[in-house]
Each structure stands twice: as structure tokens, then as C-alpha cells.
Structure 1
Amino acid sequence: MKNLVELFCDVDDFCKVFIPQWQKQLLEDGTRRRRRECRMSMSEMMTIIIGFHMSHHRDFKNYYSGYVRVFYRNAFPDLLSYTRFLEVMPRTIVPMCAYFSTLKGKPTGIEFIDSTSLKVCHNIRIPRHKTFDGIAQRGKGTMGWFYGFKLHLIVNHLGEIVAAKVTTGNVHDTKPVEELARHLPDKLYGDKGYLSKALEANLFEKGVKLITTVRKNMKAKAMSLWDRAMLSKRFIIETINDQLKNISYIEHSRHRSINGFTLNLMAGLVAYCLKENKPSLNISDIERNAMVVA
């Protein structure tokens, strides 16, 4: 894990390019009329937020007050009070999304797709849940019913996130696939939740071959040994989903606004992208070239 000073250098390099262009666009289209600067810079705020998701803390208040304020007070001389920092945190959403887009991996020709639930409250609290009332929806996954959203991911065999999309919990897994797989060069591996002849045909027209497992009551598909081997390696994306939830901490039930949910999710994705040791498949270039020829 990077310390906050190293992380700040990476984030600051991005902000020096992005922030001036973003502010110029906001002024030109009339979205923003005033340019009142915060005492802390955007890169400082983003660094602290991302750092929380790279740490093992589960309480942002204790992380901010008991870790950053104690050990990095000199590194952040203009550190805001905790309550003021919470007020200005939503300002980092757009830069955080842009930063994530620069960190995404490139397609390698061996991609995996899956979705995971993002619960916003326990099922027994659904009737009295107010924060996402009218926004979140009930959905059903392998672990049963939930209330919230779904995160749809495509990752390559190196463990890098290639594409991501958030939908409400009631959206079927197959719906976002065409948008997510728009620029993929070759094969996309998924579980039986992505079985759809129409989807498979549409992707094939765009140069993407969707390869899935089959249900127990279906005939076995004819496929190469390589494709069977890759389907058995789908644990890589399940491992990534697990790390996003339990290490990058993208899911919890204490959100008080949609802005807080969005920022928490994006910062968690960024924190994962900055991980040095990602789950990956040990596939050599020779094996990849043999697969392409086949």
C-alpha cells in the first residue's frame, strides 16, 4: 500500500491537468459562476478519501481524526475540521470519476464479466429506509434478495478493471453488457446469468465472442479446451468483487445521500486500481498467441 504522501503525488499530477480544464468548462457553460477556492486543494481531499479505502479502517471519522490528523498533520497544513471536510467531500465526485477513467486497464482479449450487489440497508429495514427511497430497488442474486444497486464489472486476466457500470438492483445482468463490452477485442467469459442468444448474436456482430457456462437442464456447449479452461478461471472476477467489498470497502449501509454513495463507490474502485498486487492469471504471451490462432 502507498502511504499518503506517495498517493498525493499521483493524485496531484492528475489534478494539475484535469482541474483547470474542468473549471474552465464549468465557467464557459454557466454551470459554475463563482470560483471560491477551498482551503484544502482538490488533490489533498482526494488523497485522504482514497487513502481511507486503501487502509484497513472501517470508520471514516476515526480514520480522519485519529490517523490523518495525528500522523499526517504536517503533510496537510490546511487540514479542515471533520464536519467541514464532510461538507466539501461531494466536490471531489467528478474529479474522482475522471481519475478512475485514467486508471482503468486495457482489454487483453481475455475478459471476464460479473455483477455484485451493493446493499444499502438490511432487508428488514427496507420499508422504513429513506435515503434511497425511490432510487434503489430490490434485486436477487446468488445470495438471495437485497435492496440497493448492482455493480457490473469487466476485468482482464491481469486483474485490471476494464469497464464498470452501476444499475439499480432490479436490472438484469444482461442489460448493461453491450455498453460495457463496446470496445473489447475478442472473448468475454461469463456465468450462466449471461445466457442469451440475442445478446450473444449482438456481441458477435461487434467482434466480441460471449462464452458462458450452461444450466443443468441444458445440453453441453461445444467449445475449445482453452475456453473451458478460461471459464474455470472465472474466480478471478469473484475475487476482485470480494476485495472491492471487504478491502476497498465499497459497500456499507450508513449512507446519508446519493452523493455519499457515489463517492464511496468511486473512491473504492480507485483504491483497487492503485493496488500493486492484484489477482491475476499466469498466462504467458505464447499461450495468448496460441489462443488467438485457435
Structure 2
Amino acid sequence: MLELYKTDSITTIEDLKDFITVIFVIVDDIYQEVTPAYIKNRKNSKNSIMNDSEIITLSLSGELMSIDSKKAWLGYCKKNLKELFPSFCSRTRFNRTRRALYRTIELIRHSLTKFINLHYGCFRIVDSMPVYACKFGRARFHKTFTSYAPYGKCASKKETFYGFKLHSLITFDGYITDFILTSASIDDREALWELTDNAKYLTILGDKGYIGNSIRTELYSERSINLVSLKRNNNKIQLPKKLRQQIFKKRRLIETVNSQLSEQLNVPKVLAKSRLGLLARLETKILARNICCFINKFLRKSMDILKIKQLLFE
């Protein structure tokens, strides 16, 4: 299906309605291919006011608009998107269905990434970012994620926080191919094993948090993964200067990606009442961003796939 977008595609998106229509077509095409029959044909699904593709599309669009309140977003859609969605289910039904479709959203993301991987080489960047269960001063009163969210440290921000870590593998132009969510106390090197569980024959660039001869040797021997990490300043053995400059240049990209995740998609804010709700929100946010990258690369033929805001606000 996705092969069609190489030759038969649009190059301009006029407004928000155009953008939502493009997202719906992509989501619905992949949904029909990857969704198991027991989900498509579940009880009373034919009597639903909104189908699964519509709910997923609206969820993705809301995340890209930086609207965390589902009540506010659905209210806007009911007033302004009647041409695209003639009928709307209740807000509670919408939220329950969105959470229940967590695995389906994950399947759509994997299918899109599988297609994307065919067009990328074997180089990735790895990094992590904090996801705050609550503000640090309220941590001892927090009850929702008590069994999941311990304290951890973020070296780049030089802070101790309470919550989770989002670990990502990113291509050299900014597409997120894999991610996992761990507790804040998990070491980045330990998380890298799970992050690369289905990966082989990669060269991964990491920062100083991924230094370690043992993990580098084991990754190479077991998965043919070459981990390249910057040495600490007090280390006698340093990488060649030109190689370090190239790594610094590529790793600057991660700052742009993390900025999009933080400022536009509000990833560091949990705003969920359960672990399933949190995972559903993350899957939706990452898929929303990945679809924008896909649109920029294959539909708009843009060399800079990170121009996500331009799709919505130009």
C-alpha cells in the first residue's frame, strides 16, 4: 500500500482539513492491512458512531495541535470539522476507544517504520529524555504511579526527577524508528538492550551516558551493533577529532527532536491516570510525529522532514 505514495502523491496541503484528510487516508490504509480481524469485527463495531480510523486520526491531529484536553479538542472538532466527521461519539466513549486501540496504534507505527526503514541506512542516534510523573516537590504525595515511577537523574539538565525515561532510536534525519518507556532509575545502557531487541547490523551514536566497553563488546558480538559513544574529557583514549566533530554535528539533531517532543507534543507531561493511558498517549504522540515525517519525505518530497509545524500552520 505505502509504495503508492512514491509515485501518486500530493505536494501541498492547503489547510487543517487537508492535513487531517491526508492523515486519515494513511491511517485507514494501514489500519485495514495490519489490524487483526477480532478487533475490526468486535462486538457492536458496526453500530459505532465513529470508526477506529476516525478516532485514531482525531487523536493524532489533536496531539500535533498541542491540545492535551480531549474535551477542548473534541469541542473544536464538532464546531469546525463537520464536513469531515458528520457524527461524533461522546467524549468518554472516544477516550475509552482510544485507549483500547493502543495495540492497533502500535501496529500502525511499526508498519510505517518498516516501510521507512527500507529507505534508510544502518545508522542511528540513541538518546533518552525525562517524562515527569509530577513536579519534584509533589513526588512524595503522588499516588498514581507509585509502583512504576521512582526517582532518577537527568545528566543533561542536571536535575533529579520523579517519573519515567523515554529512550529513542532516531535516524540521521530525525525519524524515530524505535522507543521504549522505562522507570527513571534505569541506566541508559541497560535500556539500550531492550531498545535494540529487534535490531541488527546498526551503527549507533550515543552520548557519554552510553560509555562502557562491556556493553559495546556484547552488542557487537550478539547483535552486530556498533555502539560509538563520546569519551569523557578525563579519558586518555579519545576518538579522532574529525569523527568527534561528525558525531557532535549529528547529535545536534537530537536536540531538535527532543524539542519537538517536549514543546509541541508535550511528551514530558504524563497527564494520564494509568500506565495503559500513559502508553496510549506516547504511542499516539510518536505515531503523529512519524506520520508528519513520512508526509514531508514521501508526499511533499522535502529534504527536511523535521518541518512539522509548517504542515499545520503555514
* Match of residue 49, structure 1, among 45, 59, 68: 59
Aligned equivalent of 2:209, options 169, 193, 204: 193
- Alpha-carbon separation, structure 1, partners of 2:219 and 2:276: 33
Output the amino acid matched with 1:84.
Answer: R
Q: Aligned letter for 2:71?
A: K
After superposition, the CA RMSD in angstroms is: 2.2
Q: In 1, Cα distance between the equivalents of 2:153 and 2:229?
A: 20
Match of 2:8 in 1: none
By how many angstroms is 1:203 displaced?
1.8
**Does the CA-based 8 Å contact 2:202-2:224 persist in structure 1?**
yes
TM-score using structure 2 length: 0.79
Is 1:267 the counterpart of 2:284? The answer is yes
Query: Do 1:40 and 1:79's aligned partners in 2 also have CA atoms closer than 8 Å?
Result: yes
Partner of 2:137: 124
- Name the SS for the 2:179 alignment partner: strand
Contact 2:125–2:205 (CA<8 Å) still a contact in 1?
A: yes
Pair 1:21 & 2:37 matched: yes
**2:113 paired with 1:113:** no
Q: 1:88 to 1:178 in 2, by over 3 A?
A: closer
SS at match of 1:134: coil
Q: Is the 8 A contact 1:108 1:185 kept in 2?
A: no
| 8 A contact 2:152–2:184 mirrored in 1 | yes
1:152 to 167, 181, 196: 167
2:5 aligned partner:
none
1:59 to 53, 59, 69: 69
Deviations 1:52-106 (A, max 9, x none): 11214343321111x2111112322231122332233212211111111122242
Find the aligned partners of 1:179 and 1:258 in 2 and give their Cα distance.
Answer: 19
Distance apart, 1:110 and its partner CA: 2.2
Q: Distance in 2 between matches of 1:159 and 1:184?
A: 20
Counterpart-to-counterpart distance in 1, 2:274 and 2:144: 6
d(CA) in 2 for partners of 1:228 and 1:198? 25
One-letter amino acid matched to 2:97: V
User: For residue 107 of structure 2, what is the aligned residue in structure 1?
Assistant: 98
Q: How big is the shift at 1:215?
A: 1.5
SS in 2 for 1:145: strand
Identity of aligned residues (%): 24
2:305 to 263, 268, 278: 278
Q: What does 1:176-255 correspond to in 2, within 5 Å?
A: 176-181=191-196, 182-205=198-221, 206-223=223-240, 225-226=242-243, 228-255=245-272
> What residue is the counterpart of 2:88 in the other structure?
79
Give, as a single letter, the amino acid of the residue that structure 1 aligns with 2:32. Answer: K
Query: What letter matches 2:43 in structure 1?
Result: R
Report the CA distance between 1:20 and its aligned residue.
Answer: 4.2
Q: Contact 1:115–1:173 (CA<8 Å) still a contact in 2? A: yes
Shift, 1:253, TM fit: 4.2
Distance 2:241 2:202 in 1: 15
Structure with higher helix content = 2
Aligned partners of 1:10, 1:212: CA distance in 2, in Å? Answer: 37
Deviation, structure 1 residue 241: 1.6
Distance 2:202 2:280 in 1: 32
The answer to which of 193-202 and 95-104 deviates more is 95-104
Q: Which moved more, 1:210-219 or 1:220-229?
A: 220-229
Question: Cα 1:271–1:223, aligned 2, differ >3 Å: closer, same or farther?
Answer: same
Deviation (angstroms), 1:130: 1.7
The 8 Å contact of residues 113 and 188 in structure 1, kept in 2 or not, is answered as yes
C-alpha distance 180-186 of structure 1, shift in aligned 2 (>3 A): same
Task: Answer yes or no: is the 8 Å Cα contact 1:11–1:43 preserved in 2.
Answer: yes
Unaligned runs of 5+ in 1: 28-33, 281-294
**d(CA) in 1 for partners of 2:211, 2:25:** 44
d(CA) in 1 for partners of 2:177 and 2:271? Answer: 28
